[in-house]
């Protein structure tokens, strides 16, 4: 299927991501069916789209007529068969649980036309495993939007083991038609690009605090004002939801091994319901009105070195395993996480040999698998070359 043959996009799941994706598709001129399992859920999603379109019109980012036309293109539905029967592309954005997604695809396969391409908005789960529930794994890939989809530019387009080039090209073209920048992820690997860097970084930040190496304030001061990332590590965890990052980390631990063992500090926060901004308390307290206050003058060089080393090792792993090249990783992190430079660029500026030495020292000191350097990072250090 070519892009000009796409007329109708079905979006399954009307939560934050689902209604955002539906809005983006409608603004791009596509007819959209927005489906959820209960009338209340799908109506709430539709109402959110209407509110957002009105806001865009108020800010004069779109015209009133454009907002009205986009809303008219969206049809809220509960009946799955009705939602997908005429779909050219089905974008699934249901809860991030493998069993739920598999169940949905089993039903969708029954009603969607043979031509329909399936794209999952999963942030970390296996594209290949999901595709194999269907009878069309070659017409299946990942299409990972970032929250909120209306504002965030990046879409990770992820190849499963069976995804055809035509499917990947179509979904990349569709992302561009929606005004987004697609970055190709060549291989199905947990966390893809952005979460594969961000989540271990959050975990390392937590270990640093857990092991009394530094305080939350020092880590976030270092991340935000030392490294120059838009939000502190703990500030970002609170914003996204500590449970969200923790569940991705659990999946990485389960599939990739002990290098991704979750820090007990994260587990404790999740078990106690201190999930961040949405629960009123996380690493920061939002209930007393204080919120996030990150000092500008508590940057720690040793913390910066440790975080740089973790990022560099993750990038090296992605390149070594042919998930993405260094340029794609940097581009994705700039678009999806607001990094001023990408992590590969950071590593080159800092010195790959120095970061390798940090990992080796930390591994000797702690024995933790997360400090085991990848072969590719060692090769770069020995050759005196950088990622770029």
Q: Please choose, from the candidates 251, 223, 226, the residue with its C-alpha nearest in 3D space to the C-alpha of residue 337.
A: 223
Share of the chain above pLDDT 90, in %: 96
Query: pLDDT by residue (tens digit) across 239-269?
Result: 999 999 999 999 999 999 999 999 999 999 9
Residue 152 has a CB neighbour count (10 Å cut-off) of 18
By residue count, the chain amounts to 388
Active site residue 195: yes
Is the separation of the CB atoms in 94 and 104 below 8 Å?
Answer: yes
pLDDT score recorded for residue 138: 99
Active site residue 156: yes
Catalytic hit among 52, 121, 159, 195: 195
Q: Please choose, from the candidates 108, 155, 157, the residue with its C-alpha nearest in 3D space to the C-alpha of residue 136.
A: 108
Catalytic hit among 123, 159, 221, 313: 123
Tell me the whole-structure pTM to 2 decimals: 0.94
Q: What is d(CA 377, CA 382) in angstroms, rounded to the nearest whole number?
A: 9
Fold of the 194-383 domain: 1.10.1040
Q: What is the mean pLDDT of residues 197-211?
A: 97
Query: pLDDT by residue (tens digit) across 111-145?
Result: 999 999 999 999 989 999 999 999 999 999 999 99
E strands of the chain, at which residues? 8-12, 31-35, 74-77, 89-92, 117-120, 140-145, 154-158, 181-185
Query: pLDDT by residue (tens digit) across 162-192?
Result: 999 999 999 999 999 999 999 999 999 999 9
Q: What is the mean pLDDT of residues 228-240?
A: 93
- The tokens describing 368, both together, are 């933790």
Q: What is d(CA 216, CA 161) in angstroms, rounded to the nearest whole number?
A: 40
pLDDT score recorded for residue 292: 84
Q: What is d(CA 211, CA 356) in angstroms, rounded to the nearest whole number?
A: 21
Catalytic hit among 156, 218, 235, 345: 156
Residue 155: φ, ψ to 5° = -130, 120
Burial of 15 (0-12, 13-18, 19+ CB in 10 A): middle
Catalytic hit among 121, 124, 144, 314: 144
The residue assigned the tokens 């993405």 is 324
What number does CATH give the domain 3-185? 3.40.50.720
Query: pLDDT by residue (tens digit) across 105-117?
Result: 999 999 999 999 9
- The tokens describing 351, both together, are 């010195």
pLDDT score recorded for residue 287: 85
Break the chain into its structural domains and give their ranges. Answer: 3-185, 194-383
Q: What is d(CA 351, CA 243) in angstroms, rounded to the nearest whole number?
A: 34
Query: pLDDT by residue (tens digit) across 335-360?
Result: 999 999 999 999 999 999 999 999 99
Q: What is the mean pLDDT of residues 191-209?
A: 96
Instruction: Please check the confidence at residue 290 and state whether its pLDDT lies above 90.
Output: no
Tell me the angle at which helices 343-350 and 326-337 cross, rounded to the nearest 10 degrees: 110
Instruction: Please check the confidence at residue 295 and state whether its pLDDT lies above 80.
Output: yes
Active site residue 172: no
Query: pLDDT by residue (tens digit) across 19-70?
Result: 999 999 999 999 999 999 999 999 999 999 999 999 999 999 999 999 999 9
Active site residue 159: no
Q: What is d(CA 268, CA 266) in angstroms, rounded to the nearest whole number?
A: 5
Q: What is d(CA 18, CA 253) in angstroms, rounded to the nearest whole number?
A: 27
Q: Is the backbone peptide bond immediately before 148 cis, with ω within 30 degrees of 0?
A: yes
The pLDDT-based confidence of 288 (bands split at 50, 70, 90) is confident
């Amino acid at each position: 299927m070519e892009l000009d043959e796409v007329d109708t996009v079905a979006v399954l799941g009307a939560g934050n991501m689902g209604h955002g994706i539906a809005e983006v598709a409608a603004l791009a001129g596509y007819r959209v069916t927005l489906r959820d399992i209960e009338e209340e859920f799908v109506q709430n999603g539709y109402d959110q789209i209407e509110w957002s379109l009105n806001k865009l019109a108020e800010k004069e980012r779109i015209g009133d007529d454009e907002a009205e036309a986009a809303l008219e293109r969206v049809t809220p539905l509960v009946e799955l068969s009705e939602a997908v029967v005429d779909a050219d592309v089905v974008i699934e954005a249901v809860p991030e649980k493998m069993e739920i997604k598999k169940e949905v695809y089993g039903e969708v396969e029954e009603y969607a036309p043979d031509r329909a391409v399936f794209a999952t908005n999963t942030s970390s789960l296996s594209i290949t495993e999901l595709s194999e529930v269907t009878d069309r794994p070659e017409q299946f890939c990942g299409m990972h939007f970032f929250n909120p989809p209306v504002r965030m530019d990046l879409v990770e387009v992820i190849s499963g083991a069976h995804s055809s080039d035509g499917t990947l090209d179509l979904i990349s073209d569709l992302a561009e038609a929606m005004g987004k920048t697609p970055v190709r992820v060549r291989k199905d690997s947990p966390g893809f690009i952005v979460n594969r860097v961000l989540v271990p970084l959050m975990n390392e930040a937590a270990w640093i605090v857990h092991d009394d190496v530094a305080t939350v304030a020092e880590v976030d001061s270092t991340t935000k004002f030392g490294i120059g990332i838009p939000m502190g590590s703990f500030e970002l965890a609170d914003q996204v939801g500590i449970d969200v990052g923790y569940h991705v980390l659990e999946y990485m631990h389960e599939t990739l091994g002990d290098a991704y063992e979750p820090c007990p500090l994260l587990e404790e926060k999740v078990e106690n319901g201190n999930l961040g901004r949405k629960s009123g308390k996380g690493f920061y307290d939002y209930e007393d009105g204080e919120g996030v206050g990150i000092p500008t003058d508590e940057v720690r060089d040793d913390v910066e070195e440790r975080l740089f080393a973790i990022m560099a090792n993750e990038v090296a792993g992605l390149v070594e395993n042919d998930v993405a090249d260094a340029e794609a990783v940097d581009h994705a992190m700039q678009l999806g996480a607001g990094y001023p430079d990408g992590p590969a660029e950071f590593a080159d500026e800092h010195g790959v040999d120095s970061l390798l030495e940090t990992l080796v020292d930390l591994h000797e000191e702690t024995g933790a698998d997360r400090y085991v350097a990848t072969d590719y990072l060692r090769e770069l250090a020995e050759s005196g070359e950088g990622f770029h």
